[in-house]
Amino acid sequence: MKRSLLTYAMQLCLFTTVACSNVNAQYDGATDVPSRFREGFQSITEKDSKSLLTVLAGADFAGRGTGQQGFMKAAQWFSERLAERGFQPAGEDGSWFQFLPFNRTEIGVESTKLSIGETTVLSGNDFGVENYFGNFNGQLPVTFARVTKKRPELEDGAFSGRLLVVRSATRINANDVLIVKGRPACVLIVDRDSRVRSQSVSQLERTPGAVPLAKLGVTMANKLATASEISGEFFTEKNPEKNQLMTSSSEVDVHLTVEHESIDVPNVVGWYPGSVESLRHEHVCIGAHLDHLGLQQGSVYPGAEDNGSGSTSILQIANAIHTNAQKPQRSVLLMAFCAEERGLLGSKHYAANPLRPLKDMVCMLNIDMIGRNEESDKEPASENENTIHLVGSKKISNQLHELTITANKHVNFVFEYDQESVYNRSDHASFAKKGVPITFLFGGFTPHYHKPTDTLEGINFSKIANCARLDYLTLMLAAEHGHFEKNADDDAKAGQ
């Protein structure tokens, strides 16, 4: 008997494992999804994850940089996908968008270069923005300088009519004695290559310096030094003991254009009305940041995982909500944030300027970087096929945490809780600070983090689809549950 009993048991587990191990499925050991959610749940497929992410991480959106064309195209495309999935525009003035003001300062790469004689030594992409915008053209002799914290004694106008190329152990700004007393005609500030940006997009209102200023990386500065018959390693050493000034015999021809404009960049905001009229004002927020690093120094950072994966999963959740016959009892606010990479600016802006009372927000479910298996020297990616970090879910409401655990029975992720250090590093933090219970699904870090190699290559589409399945169920259950009891103790405050 036993044996036959054994075969029956093996068949059963075989069936379930087969059911669970086909491409469109949850992880082993997952239990059946409650029938009232099944249709929507089953509309979430790996195939769909792949087709959506292929567009989001594609060349057309060029890494979705805040303040860049690529992001604006992605925001428009995202709003069209939401419309297809039955969502309503919930931004400003009946639009899909809530706009944030930014200032964009950018090197005019076409009209910026530096040449010696006929030779172009530096082209537009080699320059970075500093606290200046405008145009400068001039034929100048050059002074190369390495300065310490204790600036060199200078004659008045020591650098007038000259280009000053300077690396300093401490920050140089427009009020520096090198500039105020030296009065150079133009200044190129030398910094580590990784800190040179041809574009800056920020919300800071800065008064531009009067002296033409731009930035050069060490590599390009040494190239200019070599071309000017000064040592090719002049700028390599970080902190020299003493100030060094070298004047070059050759003149350079400088053309510098730095553009500046105020721009508006949108969060994308969609609304799906709840099925119970009396509860329709209460809403569950699901969100992910849509932006990434964009085009920097001529390289595109596609951001397939960061955060093309999260943006993909919330579109799949939108589709599941629209496909499933039974709609969420309370409404759904879906947000694709801008400027997360610039300091959570999009979500902070919404939390400070909510388009619906935050007191009616039942909880905020955030998804960021869920498209790869966590990988580090200590941990191979192969060990993280079905793991996910559930961050911050216990901080404000254990009830929400328990509900997420319940939802996970039908997906069966292995939850990890060892990344609370990122609690303040993604968009849920902006809502948690306002006391809204949150959960954060986070895949963990990999060697591709914030690199141009964060492409479609090596993306785990099953993890994206399963995050969508998990948060679809969490959302539907939360829309039934309503407001969550907040933890009595100061834990909530501790997380802030």
| Per-residue binding letters, 248-287, with Zn ion (x by CB under 5 A) | ----------------------------------------
Q: Which of 433, 417, 202, 459 is CA-nearest to residue 306?
A: 459
Alpha helices in 295-436 (DSSP H): 310-323, 345-352, 398-408, 428-432
Q: Six-digit token pair at 309? A: 């994966």
By the rule CB under 5 A, 126 interacts with Zn ion:
no
When the beta carbons of 331 and 426 are compared against Zn ion, the nearer one is 426
Q: Which stretch binds Zn ion (CB under 5 A): 16-24, 52-60, 367-375, 408-416?
A: 367-375
Shortest distance in whole angstroms from residue 425 CB to Zn ion? 8
Q: Is 282 helix (H, G, I), strand (E, B) or coil?
A: coil
**Region of residue 297 (left: phi > 0; alpha: psi -120 to 50; beta: else):** left
Shortest distance in whole angstroms from residue 116 CB to Zn ion? 42
When the beta carbons of 172 and 441 are compared against Zn ion, the nearer one is 441
Q: Which stretch binds Zn ion (CB under 5 A): 124-132, 172-180, 301-309, 447-455?
A: 301-309
CA distances for 1 relative to 12, 15, 115, 197, 488, angstroms: 16, 21, 89, 73, 54
Shortest distance in whole angstroms from residue 292 CB to Zn ion? 7
When the beta carbons of 25 and 369 are compared against Zn ion, the nearer one is 369
* 271 burial level (CB within 10 Å; 0-12, 13-18, 19+): buried
Q: Which stretch binds Zn ion (CB under 5 A): 278-286, 323-331, 349-357, 364-372?
A: 364-372
Site for Zn ion in 422-441 (CB under 5 A): none
Site for Zn ion in 2-21 (CB under 5 A): none
Q: Six-digit token pair at 81? A: 């996908």
Q: Rounded to 5 degrees, what are φ and ψ at 468?
A: -65, -40
Shortest distance in whole angstroms from residue 372 CB to Zn ion? 12
Shortest distance in whole angstroms from residue 447 CB to Zn ion? 16
When the beta carbons of 126 and 306 are compared against Zn ion, the nearer one is 306
By the rule CB under 5 A, 306 interacts with Zn ion:
yes
* Nearest-angstrom CA–CA distance, 334 and 357: 15
Site for Zn ion in 442-471 (CB under 5 A): none
Shortest distance in whole angstroms from residue 44 CB to Zn ion? 21
Shortest distance in whole angstroms from residue 340 CB to Zn ion? 6
**Cis amide linkage into residue 412, ω under 30° from 0:** no
When the beta carbons of 184 and 310 are compared against Zn ion, the nearer one is 310
* Nearest-angstrom CA–CA distance, 220 and 279: 61
CA distances for 329 relative to 113, 436, 472, angstroms: 60, 19, 13
When the beta carbons of 26 and 307 are compared against Zn ion, the nearer one is 307
Q: Which stretch binds Zn ion (CB under 5 A): 62-70, 300-308, 433-441, 458-466?
A: 300-308
* Single-letter amino acid code for the residue at 148: T
Shortest distance in whole angstroms from residue 412 CB to Zn ion? 25
CA triple 337-45-72, angle to 5 deg: 25
Q: Is 174 helix (H, G, I), strand (E, B) or coil?
A: coil
DSSP H or E segment with residue 315: helix 310-323
* Nearest-angstrom CA–CA distance, 473 and 42: 11
* 108 burial level (CB within 10 Å; 0-12, 13-18, 19+): middle
Shortest distance in whole angstroms from residue 289 CB to Zn ion? 6
When the beta carbons of 45 and 347 are compared against Zn ion, the nearer one is 347
Number of residues that bind Zn ion (CB under 5 A): 3
By the rule CB under 5 A, 307 interacts with Zn ion:
yes
Among 191, 282, 305, 368, indicate the residue that binds Zn ion (CB under 5 A).
368
Q: Which stretch binds Zn ion (CB under 5 A): 195-203, 318-326, 362-370, 411-419?
A: 362-370
Residue whose structure tokens are 């007191």: 359
Shortest distance in whole angstroms from residue 295 CB to Zn ion? 17
45-54 residues labelled b (16+ CB within 10 A) or e (exposed): bbebbeebbe
Residues paired with 135 in a beta bridge: 257
Which residues are near Zn ion by CB under 5 A? Answer: 306-307, 368
